[in-house]
Structure 1
């Protein structure tokens, strides 16, 4: 029951945050530009999130306009010993084309419960995606990969958050400057990376 309440609080909170941001669908200009920058939580927002049961979370602001034939893809990629394994969460065919301070985020809950898998939460402009992730890691780190505004390049992934896990005693955090794939992933037995990709829309 406690986990259910925490999950509900998280949904309500993200809806309140995004409710004040204007997202309109207009005729996009031919010069598309998409930027992402970290969103720093206020102390009140941090307090609210601490009561939702979400262990770690990072927010970002998304701004810009897409052409009608463009798409933004959001995913969480799993790596093992530095090598890509699979996607755990993937959202594409984004219905919106114009973004103004739209909030996106990646969070993890369930660290305190060793008998159950972690819950991954990916907040995208059109909604919230969740999945469960089973692992036996005993040490972990959770870090934001960008510290300033970046401009997306088409067909070039931007990595925003990294969760690293290991069964060993020590673990180094990783970082990147402009959202490139961070170095040092091979030091972690398991890694989850939150990724945004600007690409062409898949034709149906």
Structure 2
């Protein structure tokens, strides 16, 4: 009988410890929160940027904390006539877990051919070139206010659209959703941020 009581006490203790571990894990994951907001450059900053030859660029501020099992992915999605063709400048493996007014950016230099794409992330900058026959373009910021990322839900921050025609529709979205009207663009680049689990590198 005494042995049975000890066994019951042991089982109850295991359940209690398991519950405590679960609570700790929930507390850790609940602390993970990332927000993004547009950064408006001063006149002096805009002047300095103009000297770099990057005609179109948008900056954003990143704030918040990731858990040890979380990651942030940055990439540029390429669309042709509304169809996703490829992802460029994809980076993951967040070095930092805490962000305090960390800057990210996306820019396109379209004054020359090929186009030059620039992705500024907290740990540095990535660039690539892209051959294009587009004769005119538009460049739009896709968020109008501070937004909080939702895990595994992509947020689109910037859209570059190109055309060989005389008219080009400007697209937009309020909270970083995939912009309506993208299917009408001959060529489009969308700058995307995705909060996901570490080691998840798929689209």
TM-score tier, shorter chain, comes to: 0.7 to 0.9
Which structure has more helix as a fraction of its residues?
A: 2
Between the aligned partners of 1:69 and 1:41, the Cα distance in structure 2 is: 34
Residues 78-117 of structure 1: pairs in structure 2 closer than 5 A: 78-109=78-109, 111-113=110-112, 116-117=113-114
For 1:161, the equivalent position in structure 2 comes to 158
**Aligned to 1:175, which of 150, 165, 172?**
172
| Cα RMSD for the two superposed structures | 1.2
Q: Does residue 124 of structure 1 match 2:116?
A: no
For 1:4, the equivalent position in structure 2 comes to none
For 2:137, the equivalent position in structure 1 comes to 140
1:68 positional shift: 0.3
For 2:33, the equivalent position in structure 1 comes to 33
Query: Which segments of structure 1 move beyond 6 Å, counting only runs of 4 or more?
Result: none
1:112 positional shift: 2.4
Q: Deviations over 1:33-84 (max 9, x none)?
A: 1000000000010011011111110000000000000000000000011111
Q: TM-score, normalised by structure 1?
A: 0.83
Structure 2 gaps, min length 5: 1-26
Between the aligned partners of 1:78 and 1:71, the Cα distance in structure 2 is: 22
1:29 positional shift: 4.5
Of 88-97 and 155-164, more deviation after overlay is shown by: 88-97
Rg larger for: 2
Between the aligned partners of 1:158 and 1:107, the Cα distance in structure 2 is: 17
Between the aligned partners of 2:97 and 2:76, the Cα distance in structure 1 is: 22
Residues 52-91 of structure 1: pairs in structure 2 closer than 5 A: 52-91=52-91
Between the aligned partners of 2:148 and 2:86, the Cα distance in structure 1 is: 26
**Aligned to 1:185, which of 169, 182, 195?**
182
Between the aligned partners of 1:37 and 1:190, the Cα distance in structure 2 is: 26
Between the aligned partners of 1:126 and 1:29, the Cα distance in structure 2 is: 24
Q: Deviations over 1:88-120 (max 9, x none)?
A: 1101011110000000000011x222xx30110
For 2:12, the equivalent position in structure 1 comes to none
Between the aligned partners of 2:148 and 2:94, the Cα distance in structure 1 is: 18
Between the aligned partners of 2:198 and 2:111, the Cα distance in structure 1 is: 40
Q: TM-score, normalised by structure 2?
A: 0.83
For 2:196, the equivalent position in structure 1 comes to 199
